[in-house]
Structure 1
Amino acid sequence: MGWTCTNKPKGMSIREFFEREFNYTRDDGRYGKILDCAVVNLRTAYIAYEIGDVQGKREVTAIVCALSFSPNSYYNFCYKDMSESMGPYYYDCPERILKMLTPTDHEWAREWREKCWERIRAKKTRPKLKRGMIIKFADSIVFKSRRQEDTFRVEDPRRLIFSDRWGKRYKLRRDTLDWEFQVLEDFPPEREIAVSV
């Protein structure tokens, strides 16, 4: 599916919006309803969605919605919804949503769930950031200035302020910490650092 752009009334939460869009009850007793909705980094919504009928059959599946906002437009809210069986490339689904899902035989849905669980396990084993800690990302971070850095000193772990070996400070996005990194004793020797032009 493509993107849907519409007006989300001011003050309406993202969960309320999706409940209005996705919840339904049919005359034959079949229904669909949102059980929980988690928004991660204002970029992705993860929904535990129950489908059932009056005979008591029920299934809880995941819906993943990529999000985009245009506050100065009438069409101020855009989303792209994908079921887990489509194998979406978004894997930061919270544990509480994953625990609500019922078992599935769909191969892509199972793969998607496992990748989400892998990310959760990795986060739990990752060291907690502390002031003064030096971390090296597996991949360099490319900034708007085209400067690339992969090794930083933690200046303020709460506000995500970091500095490079020369003292230049950066504010990293929270989702950057989902990237693979390791803790170092000190900055690596300068010859090991690739300096971009």
Structure 2
Amino acid sequence: MGWLFMSRYAMGGHETPKAYLDAQFTYERDLPEGGTSGLRILDSAIVGLTTYYAAAQVTRDGVGHEVFAIVCLVRWNARSKDGEHFGYKDMEESMGPCEDDCPERILRLLTSSDNESALQWRRRCLVNLRLRARKLTEGMRIRLAVPLHFTNGHEGTDFTVVKHRRGIAFRPVDGFGLYHIRGVRTLAWEVLPRTRVHKTLFA
């Protein structure tokens, strides 16, 4: 499915993209042969202001069954001058979305699946969660698996973590200046051991 854009005034009274999408994916329909089928959103989140993740449970005759993940790309601009304040593109996990920052609490709600694309997507999300759980503390030295190239011409792999304003920055181990590394928690890096010099004690 492609992108669908709309004015904020066409969102059915919902104030946020999350509220609108929760409502869109929650429904119950009568079946021609009798009974009902539908979906209910158990939990959802918008990550990075660009991606909606939800655990959606299939219902039959009002009873909950399997739970799968819905992923939506989101665009939100409340000040849009052309009236296209909100847009989204929806997919579900069996389509193998590129976006793989689903919160752990939502992954835990999903039931088992035998769809390989869905399973690969879940594994990618879990890997990213483990990477993001790594701590970066002031004074830590890290070595990136791949050298980074910066706009001022610097290229390097080894950096020291430095507190900077309300966040962190990186200073080259053998150089000067501070650099910001976008998405550093998802990059491949290792912690460099720090050499400690102990005082010599004489009897």
Query: Normalising by the residue count of structure 1, what TM-score does the alignment of the two structures yield?
Result: 0.77
Distance between the aligned counterparts of 2:15 and 2:86, measured in 1?
Answer: 11
Give 1:104's aligned residue.
113
- Unaligned regions of 5+ residues in structure 1, if any? 187-197
Distance between the aligned counterparts of 1:22 and 1:38, measured in 2?
Answer: 13
Give 1:47's aligned residue.
54
Distance between the aligned counterparts of 1:12 and 1:86, measured in 2?
Answer: 29
Equivalent of 1:92, from 81, 88, 101?
101
Distance between the aligned counterparts of 1:55 and 1:16, measured in 2?
Answer: 22
Give 1:27's aligned residue.
30
Equivalent of 1:180, from 180, 183, 188?
188
Give 2:72's aligned residue.
65
Q: Structure 1 residues 15 and 119, CA, compared in 2 at 3 Å: closer, same or farther?
A: same
Q: Is the CA contact 1:66–1:79 (under 8 Å) kept in the aligned structure 2?
A: yes
Q: Structure 1 residues 6 and 55, CA, compared in 2 at 3 Å: closer, same or farther?
A: closer
Q: Is the CA contact 1:87–1:109 (under 8 Å) kept in the aligned structure 2?
A: yes
Equivalent of 1:156, from 160, 163, 178?
163
2:128 aligns to what SS in structure 1?
helix
Number of aligned residue pairs: 183
1:119 aligns to what SS in structure 2?
helix
Greater C-alpha Rg:
2
- Paired letter, 1:16: A
Query: Normalising by the residue count of structure 2, what TM-score does the alignment of the two structures yield?
Result: 0.75
Please give the root-mean-square deviation of Cα atoms over the aligned residues, in Å.
Answer: 2.8
Q: Structure 1 residues 141 and 65, CA, compared in 2 at 3 Å: closer, same or farther?
A: farther
Post-superposition Cα deviations, 1:91-114, rounded to whole Å, max 9, x if no partner, equal 221211111011112121112112
Q: Is the CA contact 2:74–2:87 (under 8 Å) kept in the aligned structure 1?
A: yes
Give 2:3's aligned residue.
3
Give 2:123's aligned residue.
114
